[in-house]
Amino acid sequence: MAEKDDWQGRTGDAWAQEWRRTDRSFSHLTEQLLAGTRGFAFDRVLDVGCGAGELSLAIARGRPEATVIGVDVSPRLIEVAKERGAHRANASFELADAADWQSEPGAAPELLISRHGVMFFADPVAAFANLAKQGADGAGLLFSCFRSRSENPLFADVLRLLPNPPEAVDPYAPGPFAFADPTRVAAILSQAGWKQVQLTPFDFPMIAGAGEHAIEEAMAYFKRIGPAARALTELDTGSAERFLKLLRALVERNCHHNIVAFRAAAWMVTARKV
């Protein structure tokens, strides 16, 4: 439950403060998910782990006839999403855990979507079974999740800079890479009542900084979000200073034409409730 607790507290608060940068870092992923929605017919959408609302609001803008509900466990992220969507009548946001969220009578979602928001369920089979139960007959499922840590340099390369890199943990524990194994993801969804499961790899650049001060912006971002931010909370002063010097060098190596970007590897996952 640590991951959920983190999102309800410190991690969620940090993402709420950095929502502009996090939305930019996932911008290519958002575009891919929006393109993926064209394969589904829907009037009602549930955005699982909606964060600060970027994907929910993008769908609501593009589909003004649709109703979009975003849910997240972070109070601060939901506050930000509500502020951003204050003038978007067809989008609303709820503080809720999708694992036990319930739709209103007659308003079952016809598309359930998520941008990297489904890897933190303590019991993923039960969570996706609940989502299937809440979805309309024939509802579609579309979400993104990270592939392996080794395919995502933002995590792998940063962790290698630590004086004592973390030991291997349960690869299936709730966290960013809990859904890296495609066979496991397919099995979870099948057990939960979803059919026609497909996983397609998608690579995209995660942008950490841009413009004249791209390197400084990326450093500021990493101190707040992601593996570097977590590592800094656990290092003594001297170790933190050495780590930051190495991190800056890594950022500089990944800065080209005033853009700091790291290659990211994701799965695009689709399924149907049948």
Per-residue confidence (pLDDT) for residue 178, from 0 to 100: 95
Buried-exposed string 28-57: b where 16+ CB fall within 10 A, e elsewhere: bbbebbbebbeebebebbbbbbbbbbbbbb
Ranges of the chain whose pLDDT falls below 70: 1-2, 166-168
> Distance from first CA to last CA of the chain, Å, rounded?
31
Cα→Cα distances 145→53, 114, 182, 208, 250, Å: 17, 9, 10, 19, 24
Per-residue confidence (pLDDT) for residue 227, from 0 to 100: 87
- CB neighbourhood size of 26 (10 A): 23
Per-residue confidence (pLDDT) for residue 9, from 0 to 100: 82
Per-residue confidence (pLDDT) for residue 167, from 0 to 100: 66
Per-residue confidence (pLDDT) for residue 1, from 0 to 100: 41
Domains of the chain: 2-151+169-205+264-273 (3.40.50.150)
- Tens of pLDDT, residues 13-54: 888 999 999 999 999 999 999 999 999 999 999 999 999 999
CA dist., res. 265 & res. 177, Å (int):
11
Per-residue confidence (pLDDT) for residue 169, from 0 to 100: 72
Per-residue confidence (pLDDT) for residue 12, from 0 to 100: 84
Residues 6+ apart with CB under 8 A from 49: 71, 72, 73, 98, 114, 115, 116, 117, 118, 120
Per-residue confidence (pLDDT) for residue 168, from 0 to 100: 62
Per-residue confidence (pLDDT) for residue 94, from 0 to 100: 97
Per-residue confidence (pLDDT) for residue 213, from 0 to 100: 96
- Residue 271 pairs in a beta bridge with 141
Residues 6+ apart with CB under 8 A from 214: 255, 258, 259, 260
